[in-house]
Homo-oligomer: A and B are copies of this chain.
Amino acid sequence: MTGFVSFVSAGPGDPELLTLKAVARLGAADVVLYDDLASGAVLDHVRKGANLVSVGKRAGKPSAKQEHVSRLLVDYAATGASVVRLKSGDAGIFGRLEEELDALNAAGIAYEIIPGVTAACAAAAVSAIPLTRRHTARRVQFVTGADVTGELPDDLNWAALADPHALTALYMGKRTFPALAARLIAQGMSPDTPALLAESVGHVDQRLVRTTIAGLVAQLAQENVTATAVILYGALAGTD
């Protein structure tokens, strides 16, 4: 008898942004493996008596633990347990989902993936910014600002990212934004391009800052960058 793994998207942090299916899976699981970013009130939906396992990864930090997480998933499922792997935002977007699927495929363990609300959609909604707009923002792109070492990846498509007619959402990019901004400006993007910093969306310490690319670089130089954030820039509504 083998178990089953549900990859459950926790959404951006507001427990009301869980889907009905996510709530059902949390309520039925024997074991829930969760990250720091997918915790708090979201875990209130886990049934009493379930085994809650923190795997402690944080977006944007080096993680030597991915193999360990995959191993835990396989081991718990092999006991016949119903396992939930809870991931913040949408599980398929910047969640290292591939590695965990590979491990389950190799072990012959069945799984499902429950999609959810990704951080960019939540940040845009709370800021009343449509991510796409007829004529002026027909392309929206999500990109990571941190590779596994925490640095800006050096092989991104800078021309695509510097397109002022797209709206770009940068995940895990608060620390590396100055380096990205330098690349964008070198590609010809205006330093006055609108930008939005959306920090801790849906949490009590939520902060939204509407500025420009240059303004955000200046601001980030003066503060610590530990809070989770999404940065939107480019074709933001009302500005082009």
Contact = CB atoms under 8 A, between A and B. Distances in A.
Interface of A: 7, 9, 11-12, 14-21, 23-24, 90-99, 101, 111, 113-118, 121-122, 124-126, 128-134, 138-144, 147-148, 153, 155-157, 159-161, 163, 165-166, 237
Contact of A139 (B14, B132, B156): B156
Contact of A19 (B117, B141, B143, B144): B117
Given A20-B15, A157-B163, A93 B140 contact: yes
A17 B21 contact: yes
A89 B23 CA distance: 19
A18 B128 CA distance: 20
A201 to B, nearest CB: 9
Given A113-B128, A117-B115, A157 B165 contact: yes
A14 to B, nearest CB: 8
Contact of A132 (B7, B18, B115, B142): B142
Given A19-B17, A141-B139, A142-B140, A121 B115 contact: yes
Contacts of A125: 7, 9, 90-92, 113-115
A129 B92 contact: yes
A18 B19 contact: yes
Contacts of A118: 118, 121
A154 to B, nearest CB: 11
B139 A142 contact: yes
A7 to B, nearest CB: 8
Given A17-B20, A18-B20, A165-B157, A138 B143 contact: yes
A111 B116 CA distance: 23
Contacts of A14: 21
A94 B131 CA distance: 8
Nearest to A94: B132
Contacts of A237: 98, 101
